[in-house]
A and B are shown apart, each in its own frame.
Chain A
Amino acid sequence: MTALLKLWGGYLRLTARWPSIGSIVPFLPVIAAWWLVTALELFPRVFLPGPVEVAQSFVTLTYKGILPAYLQDSMVRLAVGAFWGIALGIPLGLLIGLSRRAHAVLWPLLLFFQAIGDIAWLPILVIWFGYGLVTMTFVIVYTVIFPVVLNTVLGVRTIHVNMYRAALSLGASRLRVLWEVVLPGALPNIVTGLRNGLGYGWRALIAAEIIVGTSGIGFLMFDARRAGSVVEIILGMIILGILWYIVDSWILAPIERATGQRWGMVMR
């Protein structure tokens, strides 16, 4: 028992010094199990290829330039969609959070349209906009915007009345209060909304690419199914996971550390 605890302590010290080790180690048993299952040939190879074949297909597709191009397409779509989702979602959330009238008018609409769901829009979007960036962007914006709006509203409503009072009695105008109190006060929740929104948006993008795409990671996977290449399907799945991990730990987590956690508004 103490030996196990010592091992764990050593692991914690190691990952504290090299955090990237901490993000790789948990996957090692998963990969080992996967390799073992394929090495024992419990399932036919064409149905379940091993890690080595997937790695080989990664190298081949990268070398041919297909993977980098598709990756770029998917990331650009996500970035464009996320940009508009944030640019529309945050102001809308602030408006609904601050104004009772806006809340009364917009809240029922918000709930109604939230229920329709991103993919449910695809049939009509394809008729309206065809198989292109507009359709993809619409789906991502649609997915990103709801978590951003709902969390921004929550963030605005959790700001204590004394924050407004303090700012006003220190001479802030209503407009300054919006910038100096409402926005930073709601920021921890806005970041949470962003994290949820981008997570959903990422999944919606892949779904959209599978259904209407002509390029991108989702299209890669669907195209591989047509060709019967399980290797490429699994490669696509792994890339989805890794990409999200990168977006989260390189973009979202640093923002969280620099804002809500730094300010003591969110637990570390």
Chain B
Amino acid sequence: MKSLTLRNLSKTYFDLYAGTQVTAVHDVSLDVPAGEFVSIVGPSGCGKSTILNMIAGFIPITGGEILVGGAPVKGPGRDRGVVFQSFALFPWRTVLDNVAFGPKMRGIAKAEREQIAREYLALAKLSEAADRYPNELSGGMQQRVGVVRALANEPDVLLMDEPFASVDAQTRMTLQEELTRIWQEKKPTVVFITHDVSEAVFLANRVIALSRGRVLDEIAVELPRPRSWDALHEDAAFKALTGRVLQLVRSA
């Protein structure tokens, strides 16, 4: 696990239809120490996904810099694992082969990479599904696969782009609890993008509120772990925190 640093990160692009220069991300600076879980929360169009895509190396930056463990980011790479909102599992590979994909690209032998994949599948309680194809699984199970596929490659930073936005509410709560459990076990550095304020607070050590491409403020979340919805949904401290973040996001 390594730290992640954003220094004066900016993204401007030329809008062909409007015929003007648009700034999607404006001078964002952020330090995520190794092993921290940070949520970035904001409404649609606030630039949060743009930030994640730049960290992942999917789109070029137009200002500032991104450092992973002190080294600048150049394009996508295995040091930054990504979990997608649309899961993005390979439909032509079984669950096991999806999870073993990263280790395979690293040149790890078949027996060993399948062993790794099975360990991670067990971590997400997915051992039964190893030989099935993604389309045979529910959305919630597919995204569990998406999370362990990224983790099994042992990235320095885990990037999650609204990963639970397209599963139903009950499943989402289960997945959130599982994610906090897995995070406690593996302690990866995580940047989690969401528009859901309570999700952001529930998961993170720190919540960054974003609006119109700028950081509004950041709020430390010092709730005890392990976290569960049973314990937190009536918790006064949790309610106070979500209330603050919500106010921040809505005021902008």
Contact = CB atoms under 8 A, between A and B. Distances in A.
B149 A170 contact: yes
B153 A171 contact: yes
Contact of A171 (B84, B102, B134, B135): B102
B90 A171 contact: no
A176 interface: yes
A264 B133 contact: yes
A162 B105 CA distance: 17
A217 B89 CA distance: 47
Given A169-B56, A169-B77, A264-B133, A162 B92 contact: no
Nearest to A172: B105
B133 A160 contact: no
Interface string A147-162: 0000000000000101
B92 A165 contact: no
A173 B105 CA distance: 8
B101 interface: yes
B92 A187 contact: yes
Nearest to B58: A165
A166 B92 CA distance: 14
A265 B89 CA distance: 12
Interface string B226-252: 000000000000000000000000000
Interface string B26-52: 000000000000000000000000000
B92 A171 contact: no
Nearest to B84: A162
A233 B91 CA distance: 47
Contacts, number: 73
A119 to B, nearest CB: 38
Nearest to A263: B91
B82 A166 contact: yes
Nearest to A176: B105
B136 A264 contact: yes
Interface residues of A, number: 23
Contacts of B102: 170-171
Interface in A116-171: 160, 162-163, 165-171
A181 B88 contact: no
Interface in B201-237: none
A169 B82 contact: yes
Given A170-B78, A176-B105, A262-B133, A165 B90 contact: no
Contacts of A169: 56-58, 76-78, 80-82, 150
Nearest to A261: B135
A263 B135 contact: yes
B86 interface: yes
Interface string A171-192: 1110010001100110100000
Contacts of B84: 162, 165-166
Q: How large is the interface on B (under 10, 10 to 19, 20 to 34, 35 or more residues)?
A: 20 to 34
Contacts of B82: 165-166, 169
Contacts of B89: 166
A181 B93 CA distance: 10
Nearest to B53: A165
A184 B101 CA distance: 14
Contacts of A171: 77-78, 102, 105-106, 153
A229 interface: no
B86 A162 contact: yes
B110 to A, nearest CB: 15
B185 to A, nearest CB: 21
Contacts of B57: 168-169
Contacts of A162: 84, 86, 88
B90 A163 contact: yes
Interface in B67-114: 75-78, 80-82, 84, 86, 88-92, 101-102, 105-106
A187 B90 CA distance: 13
Q: By CB atoms of chain B within 10 A, which of A166, A180, A185, A259 has the most? A: A166
Interface in B114-163: 133-136, 149-150, 153
Contacts of B134: 264
B73 to A, nearest CB: 11
Given A170-B149, A262-B133, A263-B133, A165 B105 contact: no
A176 B86 CA distance: 22
Given A172-B105, A176-B105, A166 B133 contact: no
A21 B148 CA distance: 47
13 contacts: A165-B58, A165-B76, A166-B90, A168-B77, A169-B56, A169-B57, A169-B77, A169-B80, A170-B81, A171-B106, A184-B90, A264-B136, A265-B92
Given A162-B86, A168-B76, 4 more contacts: A163-B90, A166-B82, A169-B56, A259-B92
A-B pairs with lowest CB-CB distance, top 6: A264-B135, A171-B78, A168-B76, A162-B88, A171-B105, A184-B92
